[in-house]
């Protein structure tokens, strides 16, 4: 990527249907602290894991376009496993800037397992998608991969970000099939960007020795690799503010304003889509 091909301001969009993409934003910002970031979440259609495929593609395209029209983008990160599995081809056909998706960390999980049993924790949509099963066949064919689809964990992560206390029994109920299994998966793939936000709670409930793996660091490295040294150096002198947008506003959304301020994303604003 060169500055001639993209906007002089190297803005990066982080997109999700909810706040789960903050887990990816945190990893990218830790690696690239000087870039200006825009976080946009399509909470008008949250959660994506429960929506028809055609609607998801339409909403992703419309939201990314709305942000790009206001603030010309240098790159977009689709920080949602569900959206990534179905919308990347349409996005790459529509926009000239790089589009980075999130892929379930099945390959590193297969390399890390000691007992050969890998757990894939995702939304119900991701669990069902052929793309996920193709990844398993490609990278974990010698493993016993156990799939667990849950919308409940997405909701719990959202509630945690709203400042609510996590009900461990609700969390335990979701994980019970793995906790009861003999043997239990010794590597858990957090294949939804909401789930790393519950990492501490998941680790507390997991049996000793269980390793939790997500895609955040790999996505951050991929983002960095797409920037030229020249553009990264230019970003250090910018005073461009970070921004946060939602597509629907209600009392619940209002409670998230302080969260985005803490994440150095400025004042949460409504984005008409």
Residue 85 sits in the same domain as residue 18:
yes
Question: Which tokens is 61 given?
Answer: 């395209």
Please report, in range form, the residues annotated as the binding site: 16-17, 48-49, 81-82, 193-194
DSSP one-letter string for 213-254: E-SHHHHHHHHHHTS-HHHHHHHTT--PPPEEEES--SHHHH
Please report, in range form, the residues annotated as the binding site for substrate: 16-17, 48-49, 81-82, 193-194
Residue 207 sits in the same domain as residue 112:
yes
For residue 130, give the 3-state DSSP assignment: helix
Residue with tokens 């894939």: 120
Question: Active-site residues: which are they?
Answer: 80, 192
pLDDT value of position 39: 99
pLDDT value of position 1: 43
pLDDT value of position 129: 87
Task: Tell me the CATH number at 190.
Answer: 3.40.50.1860
Residue 151 sits in the same domain as residue 248:
no
Residue 98 sits in the same domain as residue 192:
no
pLDDT value of position 8: 65
Domain interval for residue 227: 12-102+217-270
pLDDT value of position 6: 46
pLDDT value of position 2: 37
Q: Is residue 51 part of a domain?
A: yes
pLDDT, averaged per 10 consecutive residues of the chain (273 residues), comes to 53 96 97 96 92 95 98 97 93 97 95 98 90 95 96 92 91 96 96 95 96 96 92 80 96 91 96 95
């Amino acid at each position: 990527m060169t500055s001639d091909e993209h906007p002089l301001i190297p803005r990066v969009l982080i997109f999700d249907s909810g706040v789960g993409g903050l887990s990816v934003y945190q990893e990218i910002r830790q690696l690239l602290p000087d870039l200006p970031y825009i976080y946009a979440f399509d909470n008008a259609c949250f959660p994506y894991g429960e929506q028809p495929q055609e609607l998801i593609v339409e909403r992703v395209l419309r939201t990314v376009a709305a942000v790009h029209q206001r603030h010309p983008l240098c790159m977009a990160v689709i920080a949602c496993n569900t959206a990534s599995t179905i919308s990347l081809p349409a996005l790459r056909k529509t926009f000239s800037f790089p589009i980075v998706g999130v892929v379930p960390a099945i390959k590193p999980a297969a390399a890390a397992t000691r007992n050969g049993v890998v757990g894939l924790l995702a939304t119900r949509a991701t669990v069902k998608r052929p793309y996920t099963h193709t990844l398993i066949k490609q990278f974990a064919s010698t493993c016993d991969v156990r799939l667990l689809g849950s919308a409940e964990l997405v909701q719990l992560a959202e509630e945690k970000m709203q400042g609510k206390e996590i009900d461990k029994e609700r969390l335990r109920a979701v994980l019970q099939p793995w906790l009861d299994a003999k043997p239990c998966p010794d590597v858990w793939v957090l294949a939804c960007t909401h789930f790393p936000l519950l990492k501490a709670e998941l680790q507390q409930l997991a049996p000793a020795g269980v390793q939790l793996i997500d895609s955040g660091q790999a996505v951050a490295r991929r983002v960095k690799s797409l920037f030229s040294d020249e553009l990264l150096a230019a970003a250090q002198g910018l005073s461009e503010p970070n921004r946060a947008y939602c597509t629907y506003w209600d009392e619940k959304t209002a409670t998230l304003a302080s969260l985005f301020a803490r994440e150095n994303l400025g004042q949460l604003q409504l984005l008409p889509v």
